[in-house]
Chain A
Amino acid sequence: NAGVTQTPKFQVLKTGQSMTLQCAQDMNHEYMSWYRQDPGMGLRLIHYSVGAGITDQGEVPNGYNVSRSTTEDFPLRLLSAAPSQTSVYFCASSPRTGAASGANVLTFGAGSRLTVL
């Protein structure tokens, strides 16, 4: 059971280039999300999805696009990378059947470190 798989682990881009960070989970989780982690800023929510075909913005969505065509996959797209997007990105998923059932616990991927020059 792989859990949450993120690729690539490391990526260097030039300003203006585009790329997609991949995230896949094999736990049949309905909820998937992307966070970015920067020193002193904690984990900030970029986008999230409560099921296939449904996505919504988080705290810092500008410069990023997402789609959710299947339950398993939730890719994050950078259309025109900027140095401010240099960060570590985490994908996380949960069953999301309700906090009352204790089922909203997030399982994180290993992270993707992105550097934009």
Chain B
Amino acid sequence: QQPVQSPQAVILREGEDAVINCSSSKALYSVHWYRQKHGEAPVFLMILLKGGEQKGHDKISASFNEKKQQSSLYLTASQLSYSGTYFCGTERGNTDKLIFGTGTRLQVFP
């Protein structure tokens, strides 16, 4: 069952912040975040392995609330290069298959 992402789309000016949410109706073991530029393949951003964990990647960070089966991706001081579609992927076990959400399209304008 696909995790649900919100919002579906975000439009930002450079320097603004955004939050993308990912929620599942099933218990989760881990959450992945990937970014896909137009016409390209998805590229890995980060993986969160346990409840309450927060990770960072430059000015992009994420949290994982295991009890609520939710993850959030935080983009601060957005740059033009942040534009793309963001996908969360969820695993229910240590070696489970990865199921992706429906994606959030992020556009950053000067």
User: Which of A's residues lie within 8 Å of B, judged by CB?
Assistant: 33, 35, 40-45, 48, 50, 56, 58-59, 90, 96-100, 102, 104-111
Contact = CB atoms under 8 A, between A and B. Distances in A.
A33 B44 contact: no
- Residue with the highest number of chain B CB atoms closer than 10 Å, among A58, A104, A105: A104
B29 A35 contact: no
Main secondary structure on B side of the interface with A:
loop
Interface stretch (B11-19, B74-82, B90-98): B90-98
A42 B49 contact: no
A41 B102 contact: yes
Contact of A42 (B30, B95, B102): B102
Interface string B66-109: 00000000000000000000010101011111111111000000
Size bracket, chain B contacts: 20 to 34
B94 A45 contact: no
Interface of B: 2, 5, 29-30, 32, 34, 40-44, 47, 49, 87, 89, 91, 93-103
B98 A33 contact: yes
Contact of A58 (B47, B91, B97, B101): B97
Given A33-B97, A98-B95, A44 B41 contact: no
B47 A45 contact: no
Contacts, number: 71
B8 to A, nearest CB: 8
A104 B34 CA distance: 13
A42 B101 contact: yes
B13 to A, nearest CB: 25
Contact of B103 (A42, A105, A110, A111): A42
Nearest to A105: B44
Contacts of A50: 95
B36 to A, nearest CB: 9
A39 B47 CA distance: 25
A115 B29 CA distance: 36
Contacts of A43: 42, 87, 89, 100, 103
A27 B69 CA distance: 32
Contacts of A107: 44
